[in-house]
Amino acid sequence: MITERTPIERLGTVVRSDGDLYTNVQDLGGLISPRDEAYVRIHSDIGRIDGTRVSMSVNYLRGENPVWVRNGITRGLAKNLVGVSFQNKFFSTGSAKQYETARKVADKQVAEGVSPEKRKAIVCPSRRVFSMSPTENPNHLAFVFQDLAQAYFNRNEQPIQFYPIDENVVDGNRPELLTDTPGTIPNYIWFRALVDMSELIGGYLRADGINNRARGVDRRVVVDAEGIAKKSEQEVYPTKKFVRGYSPGEIKWALKELRFEGLGKQLIEKLSERR
């Protein structure tokens, strides 16, 4: 259930959803990224005393270091996590495929020299609790917070720790806590509040917690420094992919079918200007 909407300068409207993980994803479309949550915390009081579920997921596999995946929380995963939470178990796929796929992406991007803030996945430096700061695991700090890594570290005033699922559980030594073994164990991440040292928790069991929350960002209206609401650039102009994928004639035809003839002319003019 949507409970709050708060305009944040140059970002959009931060929307809060209360309920289980699947409800959050349905309400918001996509959960807030750790980077955008960091931006919100830097520019407002949101997140000072209340944490949030975030879009980054974590994949575990027996004997291997966890892998973080950017934008890894899908509707399908959320549904599975909520479903097994009622059994007080972690969801396990029963196959190593999901972990191996994420690991290949992470390893490939390292080999290609992709900077941490632009990677889609990254391998954690340890199976146990570890800290992130500009001097300790800086690549992981950059992966999580991207261009705001230094700024959010300054806001937090201390290193940020990640707490994974206990390695004994991942390795199958507690089979009663897993739906299947061996296999990939994907899980959501909770970004704790500033008063809780901004810890990232990847080992929480209760995705079905109805009193928990998540935030998302509605970018359709962006408020500038003077508090004036403006349409986002994404909404004013078609994306490059959209422009390249359809000819002006096709766009005009589609808009005519939708009875937006006048808008079609304006759109063609805009497309011409941007070529």
pLDDT digits (tens, 9 = 90+) for 130-148: 999 999 999 999 999 999 9
Q: Rounded to an integer, what distance in angstroms lies between the CA atom of residue 275 and that of residue 199?
A: 46
- Residue 92 φ/ψ, nearest 5 degrees: -125, 135
- pLDDT(91) > 60: yes
Q: Rounded to an integer, what distance in angstroms lies between the CA atom of residue 42 and that of residue 36?
A: 10
Report pLDDT for 182.
84
- pLDDT(262) > 80: no
- pLDDT(239) > 50: no
Report pLDDT for 73.
98
Beta-ladder partners of 222? 230
Q: Rounded to an integer, what distance in angstroms lies between the CA atom of residue 171 and that of residue 186?
A: 14
The model's confidence at residue 254, banded by pLDDT at 50, 70 and 90, is low
Report pLDDT for 268.
56
Q: Rounded to an integer, what distance in angstroms lies between the CA atom of residue 229 and that of residue 242?
A: 25
- pLDDT(241) > 50: no
- pLDDT(265) > 80: no
Burial class of residue 261 (count of CB atoms within 10 Å of its CB; 0-12, 13-18, 19+) = exposed
Tokens describing residue 148: 């705001």
Q: What is the mean pLDDT of residues 54-62?
A: 98
Tokens describing residue 234: 């994404």
Q: What is the mean pLDDT of residues 87-103?
A: 96
Is-contact 102 59, C-beta < 8 A? yes
The model's confidence at residue 236, banded by pLDDT at 50, 70 and 90, is very low
Report pLDDT for 220.
87
Report pLDDT for 274.
47
**pLDDT above 70: percentage of residues in the chain:** 80
Rg of the chain over Cα atoms, rounded to whole angstroms, equals: 21
Sketch the domain layout of the chain as residue ranges. 2-223, 237-274
pTM given for the model = 0.82
Report pLDDT for 156.
97
Report pLDDT for 200.
98
The full DSSP string for the chain is: -EEEEEEEBTTEEEEEEES-HHHHHHHHSSPPPHHHHHHHHHHSSTTSS--EEEEEEEEE-TTS--EEETT---HHHHHHHHHHHTTT-B---SSSHHHHHHHHHHHHHHHTT--GGG-SEEE-S-SS-EEE-SSSSHHHHHHHHGGGHHHHHHHHTS-EEEE---HHHHTTS-GGGBSSSSS-EEEEEEE--GGGTT-EE-----TT-TT-EEEEEE-SEEE-TTS-EEE-HHHHS--HHHHHHS-HHHHHHHHHHTT-HHHHHHHHHHHHHH-
- pLDDT(65) > 70: yes
How many angstroms separate the Cα of 271 from the Cα of each of 53, 134, 260? 38, 43, 16
Report pLDDT for 213.
93
Averaged pLDDT score across all residues of the chain: 88
pLDDT by residue (tens digit) across 152-205? 999 999 999 999 999 999 999 999 999 998 899 999 999 999 999 999 999 998
State yes or no: cis peptide before 186, omega within 30 of 0.
no
Report pLDDT for 243.
33
User: Which residue type occupies 125?
Assistant: P
